[in-house]
Amino acid sequence: MNIDKKGGDRQEAVERFIQAFDGDRKAAIETLIDYVKTVPAVVRKPKAQRPTGSVLLSVKNLTKTYKLGKQHLTVVKDVSFDIYEGEIVAITGASGSGKSTLLHLMGGLDKPTSGDIFIDSTNLARLSDRKLSMFRRQTVGYVFQFFYLQPFLRLKQNLEVPGMFARAKRKDRSRHVTELAEKVGLQDRLQHFPKELSGGQMQRAAIARALLNQPRIILADEPTGNLDSKNGEQIIRLFESIRDELGTTVVIITHDEAIANRADRTIRLADGRLA
């Protein structure tokens, strides 16, 4: 009924429009077509598709509690979700909702009070510190809001640091650094010190460094937080390129809805729980 009524309303409006042209239907239609051409198209974000890859990271009933004197503060509360290969996933929420703590747990930088974190079949919550450190170097890349480039090292040496810890051959490190610098548009900055780079260039360098050991997943904590909108857009495009060309899964902690809207999927936290 409603559809028929709306259809009738539209027909009446068209007839009134034609009458305004003294019944000249052809002139009315041509004028209407010209007007429609001036109306901007409405662009809608496609509905998120169900991931088709296999599960890469799985969080099961994850809880993290810190002891502060005699008080106990639980910042992540029984959280469970899966992240699939080749996804860009945004984790959002208000300040203090547990986003960064969750990211640190997912990357093995902290251990949960209870629950499990699986990357493939490896349970990070059950690894010894030595094995966890080795696993992180081989599987996970980190990008933070603050770039953490060593000020006394040139960019080339800064990018090589993860490969040094992984004991990669010097020749292989150098070749890979050159390739990554070209990918992020810094091939002409390799002999510069961090203070000679812009904020956007330093964040691109941090992303290249995170990719050096060819991780399966990148964990980024507010990677555009210190950048203006133009540089922030370039960083998001770079993450999309990394996902598309290398198949790397990317998880981004952000409070910026514009960035979250670019992700394939969004996970929202509120007071340490999934919202």
Ordered by start, the domain boundaries in the chain are 2-38, 55-274
Q: Helix 199-211 vs helix 155-165: angle between axes, to the nearest 10 degrees? A: 30
Per-residue pLDDT at 73: 92
The string of pLDDT tens digits covering residues 132-177 is 988 988 899 999 878 788 899 999 999 988 877 777 778 888 888 9
The string of pLDDT tens digits covering residues 52-64 is 679 999 999 999 9
Query: What letter does residue 125 receive in the DSSP assignment?
Result: G
Interval 101-118 mean pLDDT: 95
Q: Starting at the edge strand that comes first in sequence, how are the strands of the sheet with 88-92 ordered?
A: 140-144, 217-221, 249-253, 88-92, 265-270, 273-274
Kindly give, in sequence order, each residue whose CB lies less than 8 Å from that of residue 202, ignoring residues fewer than 6 positions away: 147, 149, 194
Residue 70 has pLDDT above 70, yes or no: yes
**Which comes out higher in pLDDT, residue 75 or 42?**
75
Identity of the residue numbered 223: P
The C-alpha atoms of residue 74 and residue 92 are separated, in whole angstroms, by 18
Sequential DSSP letters for 240-270 = HHHHHHH--EEEEE-S-HHHHHHSSEEEEEE
Q: What is the largest CA-CA distance in the chain?
A: 86
Interval 181-192 mean pLDDT: 92
Low-confidence winner among 6-15, 170-179, 218-227, 231-240 (lowest mean pLDDT)? 6-15
Query: What letter does residue 34 receive in the DSSP assignment?
Result: H
The C-alpha atoms of residue 97 and residue 195 are separated, in whole angstroms, by 33
Per-residue pLDDT at 41: 42
What percent of the chain shows pLDDT beyond 90? 50
The C-alpha atoms of residue 99 and residue 62 are separated, in whole angstroms, by 13
Residue-averaged pLDDT of the chain: 84
What is the CATH number assigned to the segment(s) 55-274? 3.40.50.300
